[in-house]
């Protein structure tokens, strides 16, 4: 980048030049950089720092480069170090002299911070849209299987019957919080650093609020040193991405387990399953395993970013260049994982007979029998003890809980009546959980409707 080296008497060593260049990662930032420069040029014109005719040339030139970028014709050259100098060079080729005024009252330090903020904002929009699409898909599958009952689990042991839809909606809630996290991160991302210069601000009469407004950033930096060194928004994006990846991984793991022969709750179509090079019968749900695996690489990007930041002394440091790859990689990986999850779930069948059979294990209704006794006035702890004894008796005598006679039951508690046998019904068990947020059909139907209203 000889253009900036007039004070130097030697060329930059070739290996060093390649090493310090950020053009590879900057490919992702070209459009953001051009948007930022267009806003900056408009501000320079507005503030009388460039003439209207220079502004016109700069604007037309930048717009031409934007077109070239969109059609893949604008290639970054490592010799120009980064996207910023590549744009300036190309602009000079197109419009000549006027290009030399674009960088007035600006440094690459505030410029790159702005580019990254614009890029993160765009990625937040992409991720939030995909999160919504995934939620919609989950609600759709929940509605299609609204009467399906399955075992709810704690410790991966059968606990109490729940609606299959209720289980899917639990993931919808987690993805809702993820969306909120991205939207809250967006508030702190939409703060324009432009006008901070290299770190001190400028003696020229700039108007940072004007640029911020053009870029639809509601806020402007308060401190020029902070403006060029703050990458908190990247950390927040990566944390939100990591937690979303965690939820995706939990969803993937859950579906993988449910699709095993041992559970047999769901099946995936051939369009999303792979097979073995050795065992021709194998049908593996590899895409979900990779979604689960990708969480690791997204966490890695968060850690990489935090470690890059932690040792930095106050001010702009070139290490900050390394804050770009984590967000570029993680956002792409996350978007891919979300898309894959949507496709896989679209190719999923629920085997209601299997989930019902598993949910109909009479021991899963033990808590319903406890609550039956509580309704008759038995203190909860006593009722719990009574059921423990009934279960022990049934197990020791090799009798299913539901096959004990009323007479046998009465030996443990006189409060048991004929109507107790109606409790061995998984669907009824789920339906009776009418308490706030419980798994009753009424609650789940309301929840599905409310999610649909919010998502559409
Ligand atoms: N290429 C750098 C980056 O991507 C911006 C350039 C700032 N360079 C400098 N020497 N101040 O972060």
- Domain locations in the chain as residue ranges: 14-104, 109-145+159-349, 358-455
Who lines ligand 1 at CB under 6 A?
Answer: 22, 82, 108-109, 112, 316, 318, 320-321
Q: What is the mean pLDDT of residues 365-389?
A: 98
109-145+159-349 and 358-455 in the same fold: no
Residue nearest to ligand 1 atom 6, measured at CA: 108
Which residues touch 373 (CB under 8 Å, ≥6 apart)? 382, 383, 386, 387, 413, 415, 416
pLDDT confidence bin for 3, thresholds 50/70/90: low
Q: Which fold has domain 14-104?
A: Fumarase C; Chain B, domain 1 (1.10.275)
- The first and second tokens of residue 364, run together, are 């899963």
Residue 456 confidence (pLDDT):
87
Predicted confidence (pLDDT) per residue in 226-274, tens digit: 999 999 999 999 999 999 999 999 999 999 999 999 999 999 999 999 9
SS (H, E, C) 361-390: CHHHHHHHHHHHHHHCCCCHHHHHHHHHHH
How far apart CA 240 and CA 327 sit, in angstroms, is: 11
Query: pLDDT averaged over the chain?
Result: 97
Q: Which fold has domain 109-145+159-349?
A: Fumarase C; Chain A, domain 2 (1.20.200)
Predicted confidence (pLDDT) per residue in 407-440, tens digit: 999 999 999 999 999 999 999 999 999 999 999 9
Residue of 22, 84, 108 best suited for mutating to test ligand 1, as the one with most atoms within 8 Å of CB: 108
Residue of 30, 112, 225 best suited for mutating to test ligand 1, as the one with most atoms within 8 Å of CB: 112
CA 105, 111, 117, 119 dihedral sign is positive
For the cut 80, the answer to whether the pLDDT of residue 1 exceeds it is no
Predicted confidence (pLDDT) per residue in 8-20, tens digit: 999 999 999 999 9
For the cut 70, the answer to whether the pLDDT of residue 32 exceeds it is yes
Taking the CA of residue 83 as reference, the ligand 1 atom at the shortest distance is 1
Q: Is 195:221 a contact under the CB 8 Å cutoff?
A: yes
Residues of the chain above pLDDT 70, percent: 99
Domain 358-455, architecture per CATH: Orthogonal Bundle (1.10)
For the cut 90, the answer to whether the pLDDT of residue 206 exceeds it is yes
For the cut 80, the answer to whether the pLDDT of residue 2 exceeds it is no
Phi and psi (nearest 5°) for 150? -145, 170
How far apart CA 323 and CA 181 sit, in angstroms, is: 20
Predicted confidence (pLDDT) per residue in 278-318, tens digit: 988 989 999 999 999 999 999 999 999 999 999 999 999 99
For the cut 60, the answer to whether the pLDDT of residue 342 exceeds it is yes
What 8-state DSSP symbol labels residue 284?
A: B
Which residues touch 288 (CB under 8 Å, ≥6 apart)? 252, 253, 255, 256, 341, 344
For the cut 70, the answer to whether the pLDDT of residue 399 exceeds it is yes
How far apart CA 142 and CA 162 sit, in angstroms, is: 12
Taking the CA of residue 109 as reference, the ligand 1 atom at the shortest distance is 7
CA 383, 386, 391, 394 dihedral sign is negative
Helix axes 108-144, 83-95, angle to 10 degrees: 110
- The first and second tokens of residue 125, run together, are 């929009």
Residue 272 confidence (pLDDT):
94
Which of 98, 129, 166, 251 has the alpha carbon at shortest distance from 429?
166
Q: What is the mean pLDDT of residues 127-139?
A: 98
How far apart CA 109 and CA 227 sit, in angstroms, is: 9
SS (H, E, C) the chain: CHHHCCCCCCCCCHHHHHHHCCHHHHHHHHHHHHHHHHHHHHHHHHCCCCCHHHHHHHHHHHHHHHHHHHCCCCCCCHHHCCHHHHHHHHHHHHHHHHHHHCCCCCCHHHHHHHHHHHHHHHHHHHHHHHHHHHHHHHHHHHHHCCCCEEEEEECCEEEEEEEHHHHHHHHHHHHHHHHHHHHHHHHHHCEECCCCCCCCCCCCCCCHHHHHHHCCCCEECCCHHHHHHCCHHHHHHHHHHHHHHHHHHHHHHHHHHHCCCCCCCEEECHHHCECCCCCCCCCECHHHHHHHHHHHHHHHHHHHHHHHHHCCCCCCCHHHHHHHHHHHHHHHHHHHHHHHHHHHHHCEEECHHHHHHHHCCHHHHHHHHHHHHHHCCCCHHHHHHHHHHHHHHHHHCCCCHHHCCHHHHHCCCCCCCHHHHHHCCHHHHHHCCCCCCCCCHHHHHHHHHHHHHHHC
- The first and second tokens of residue 198, run together, are 């290299």
What is the residue whose two structure tokens read 């609550």?
371
The upper half-sphere exposure of residue 29, i.e. CA atoms within 13 Å in the direction of its Cβ, equals: 30
Residue 4 confidence (pLDDT):
82
Predicted confidence (pLDDT) per residue in 171-200, tens digit: 999 999 999 999 999 999 999 999 999 999
Q: How far is the CA of 109 from the centre of ligand 1 (A)?
A: 6
Predicted confidence (pLDDT) per residue in 50-100, tens digit: 999 999 999 999 999 999 999 999 999 999 999 999 999 999 999 999 999
Q: How far is the CA of 38 from the centre of ligand 1 (A)?
A: 19
Residue nearest to ligand 1 atom 10, measured at CA: 318
Longest pairwise C-alpha distance within the chain: 103
Residue nearest to ligand 1 atom 5, measured at CA: 108
Residue nearest to ligand 1 atom 12, measured at CA: 321
């Amino acid at each position: 980048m000889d253009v900036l080296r007039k004070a130097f008497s030697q060329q930059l060593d070739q290996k060093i030049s390649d090493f310090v260049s950020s053009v590879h990662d900057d490919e992702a930032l070209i459009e953001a950089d051009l948007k930022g420069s267009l806003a900056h040029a408009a501000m320079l014109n507005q503030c009388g720092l460039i003439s209207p005719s220079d502004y016109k040339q700069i604007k037309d030139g930048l717009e031409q480069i934007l077109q070239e970028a969109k059609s893949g014709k604008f290639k970054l050259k490592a010799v120009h170090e980064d996207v910023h100098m590549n744009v300036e060079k190309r602009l000079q080729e197109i419009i000549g002299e006027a290009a030399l005024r674009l960088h007035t009252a600006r440094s690459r330090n505030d410029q790159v911070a702005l580019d990254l903020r614009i890029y993160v904002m765009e990625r937040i929009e992409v991720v939030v849209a995909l999160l919504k699409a995934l939620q919609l898909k989950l609600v759709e599958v929940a509605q299609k299987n609204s009467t399906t009952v399955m075992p709810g689990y704690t410790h991966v042991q059968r606990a109490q019957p729940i609606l299959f839809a209720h289980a899917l909606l639990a993931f919808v809630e987690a993805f809702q919080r993820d969306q909120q996290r991205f939207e809250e991160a967006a508030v702190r991302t939409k703060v324009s650093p432009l006008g901070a210069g290299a770190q001190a601000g400028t003696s020229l009469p700039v108007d940072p609020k004007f640029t911020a407004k053009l870029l639809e950033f509601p806020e402007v930096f308060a401190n020029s040193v902070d403006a060029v060194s703050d990458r908190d928004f990247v950390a927040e994006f990566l944390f939100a991405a990591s937690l979303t990846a965690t939820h995706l991984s939990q969803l993937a793991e859950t579906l993988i387990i449910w699709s095993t022969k041992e559970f047999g709750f769901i099946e995936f179509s051939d369009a999303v399953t792979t097979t073995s090079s050795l065992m021709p019968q194998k049908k593996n749900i590899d895409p979900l395993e990779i979604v689960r695996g990708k969480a690791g690489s997204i966490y890695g990007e968060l850690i990489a970013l935090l470690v890059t930041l932690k040792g930095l002394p106050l001010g702009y440091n070139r290490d900050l260049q390394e804050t770009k790859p984590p967000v570029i990689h993680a956002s792409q990986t996350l978007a891919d994982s979300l898309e894959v999850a949507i496709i896989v779930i679209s190719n999923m069948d629920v085997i209601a007979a299997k989930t019902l059979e598993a949910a109909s294990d009479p021991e899963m209704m033990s808590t319903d029998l406890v609550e039956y006794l509580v309704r008759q006035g038995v203190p909860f702890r006593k009722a719990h003890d009574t059921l423990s004894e009934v279960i022990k008796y049934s197990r020791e005598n090799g009798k299913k809980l539901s096959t004990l006679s009323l007479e046998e039951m009465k030996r443990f508690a006189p409060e048991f009546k004929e109507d107790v046998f109606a409790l061995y019904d998984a669907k009824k068990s789920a339906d009776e959980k009418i308490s706030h947020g419980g798994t009753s059909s009424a609650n789940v139907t309301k929840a599905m409707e409310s999610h649909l209203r919010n998502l559409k």
